[in-house]
Copies of this chain bind each other. A is one copy, B any other.
Amino acid sequence: MPASQRRYDPDRRARIVRAALDVIAERGVAETTHRRVAAAADVPLGSMTYHFATLDALLADAFSLLADTVSARFTERLAAAATVDEAREAVVDLIVDESWATPRNMLLSYELYAYAARNPPLRRVMQAWMAQSQAALRRHFPPDTAKVLDAMIEGLSIHRSVDAEPMARDQIRAVVERLTADPAGAVPGAGQR
């Protein structure tokens, strides 16, 4: 009787990738090792090198999964908005709501930023992520505004995760309104000079 059964385990590969994200979230890239991920995914060490040529390859897959997942959620939330006002509210939600700017997601994003800064393929993943976000915003706002909003979401989310006393929802809504108000519309020439 063998100490451990051989398992039939399709989608083991996917499970390893998810486990990698867990380990990164809990320990950081610096302490993410084959053995820790293997333990988290409940697979033997040998399985790591079988499914992934190198540790960096695994990290790349993990971060790509992160980008896809979070990006999809972002797009979904914005697609649910029918009017511009609803879109504005969606943006506020994305910043304030606990469902997107999760501590875990913020943490993973930081790790990704640091990692991608030195890794061209991952850099492209980040760029694609940004492009996707802006595309989602462009469904409701003009291109320039979309870019600005995207950056604002980024900045406010980060500060929210660090600041001891984060801004109130109302303040954030006010900011979003300021950034999305149509300058050419209501009062021509007002904001200029």
Q: A residues near B, CB below 8 A?
A: 27-30, 106-107, 110-111, 113-118, 123, 126-127, 130, 144, 147-148, 150-156, 158-159, 162-164, 167, 171, 175, 177-179, 181, 183, 186-187, 190-191, 193
Contact = CB atoms under 8 A, between A and B. Distances in A.
Nearest to A193: B186
A175 B191 contact: no
Nearest to A133: B159
Contacts of A155: 150-156, 158
Task: For the complex of A and B, list the 4 residue pairs with the smallest distance between their C-beta atoms, beginning with the closest.
Answer: A155-B155, A151-B155, A154-B155, A30-B30
B158 A126 contact: no
A156 B151 contact: yes
Contact of A177 (B152, B175, B191): B191
Nearest to A103: B117
Contacts of A29: 28-30, 114
Nearest to A167: B147
Contacts of A113: 110, 113-114, 158
